[in-house]
Amino acid sequence: MPMKPKRTILIKLACLACAFALLSLAGMPLYRGLYAQTSDGAYWDKLDRLQTLAEAGTPKAVFVGGSATHFGIHAALFEEETGIPAVNMGLNAGLSFQMCLDSVSPWLQPGDLLFLMPEYDYYAHAFQSVNENSVNFLFLLDPSVGKGLSARDWLRFAPEVLTTGWRNWGSAVVSALQALLPGDYTIYRRDTSNAWGDMQGQKGLTNRPILSPLHITYADRGFADGLQAYIDGFGARDIRVALLLAPFQRTCYEQNRPAIDAVAARARTLQGARLLLDLPDAVMDDTCFYDTAYHLDWPSAEAFTRRVIARARAQGLL
């Protein structure tokens, strides 16, 4: 007996939905190869150093943030000038800042010095955001970071998992096409980071700064509240916390001044973390940046790191 047309359509739709989900999940592992050139690709190298320092048991300095930290801080220089073992845990601002903190928290010990440098965009979003970067990181780079997530949090990731898989397929196609064309399309790769986790791939290359207007008009209270809770927790563990405003292009600052000023004002309200770099110290000339409003070139990153060291000494942290 033939099936009813309505039932046939429903079965076909169900099969299409299953095929969509399976193809999307099949695209998830592509992340490892596609993003090996990003600061995420250096994550395990950075984490290995952090774990080694933790096992040594001596106080250390840990820098946490997105790619502005990866590009803008020289942990090797910090260690050389201060004598404090250091590691640059700068990752990707596409991750939630909560993930960045959860990735280092188990390896922090009393007496450590924790430098937090969230990109300005973070202040306009929720403390725990769900997007393709956080999904790829959680499912394929370090699932242990998700230990603190509730069942409700995991459900929030489900829709993004499906769309992320398809994005990865698209990125794979683009990467394959780029491989057929002359030229190097990778800005930075895993092997361009040094043993301290600092980005050195832009060393000797020509700057090509792009003005990056911020799509924020205010500083969201939710991010500050979430960050404050973590700062309080670190303080209870006798971990010293310092807050840095990320380096920012002067022209971009002038174009986004109300938003940047709102971020700085919100950062000043955080308790238990010394704001080492405030405005205008975080604003630097456009020529200091490698490719975007956040990524400093090699000499400018050294200068920025020395500025951080000077402020830390002035405030008695070193």
> The CATH number of the domain where 103 resides is what?
3.40.50.1110
Residue 30 lies in a domain: no
Provide the pairing of β-strand 113-117 with 240-244: parallel
In a domain, 173, yes or no: no
* 241-266: b (≥16 Cβ within 10 Å) or e: bbbbbbbbbbebbeebeebbebbbeb
* Inside any domain, residue 129: yes
- Count: domains in the chain: 1
Is 70 exceeded by the pLDDT of residue 202?
Answer: no
Supply the DSSP symbol for 148. Answer: G
Q: Which residues, in sequence order, are bridge partners of residue 61?
A: 86, 113
Q: Please give the DSSP secondary-structure letter assigned to residue 57.
A: T
Q: Residue 157 falls within a domain, yes or no?
A: no
Task: Give the mean model confidence (pLDDT) for residues 194-207.
Answer: 67
Range in 116-120, 190-194, 237-241, 262-266 with the lowest mean pLDDT? 190-194
81 falls within a domain: yes
**Percent of the chain scored above 90 by pLDDT?**
33
pLDDT exceeds 70 at position 20: no
Please provide the average confidence, as pLDDT, over all residues in the chain: 79
Strand order in the sheet with 61-65: 86-90, 61-65, 113-117, 240-244, 274-277
Within-domain flag for 270: yes
Cα 134 to Cα 129: distance, rounded to the nearest angstrom: 8
CA distance 295 to 21: 36
Does residue 3 have a pLDDT over 70? Answer: no
Please give the residue range of the domain that contains residue 282: 39-151+182-314
Asked if pLDDT for residue 166 goes beyond 70, the answer is no
The larger pLDDT score, comparing residue 254 to residue 230, is at 230
Name which of 48-52, 113-117, 155-159 the model is least confident about: 155-159
pLDDT-derived band of residue 239, with 50, 70 and 90 as boundaries? very high
**Confidence band (pLDDT; 50, 70, 90) for 233?**
very high
Please indicate, yes or no, if residue 3 is contained in any of the structural domains: no
Asked if residue 256 belongs to a domain, the reply is yes
Q: Is the pLDDT of residue 210 over 60?
A: no
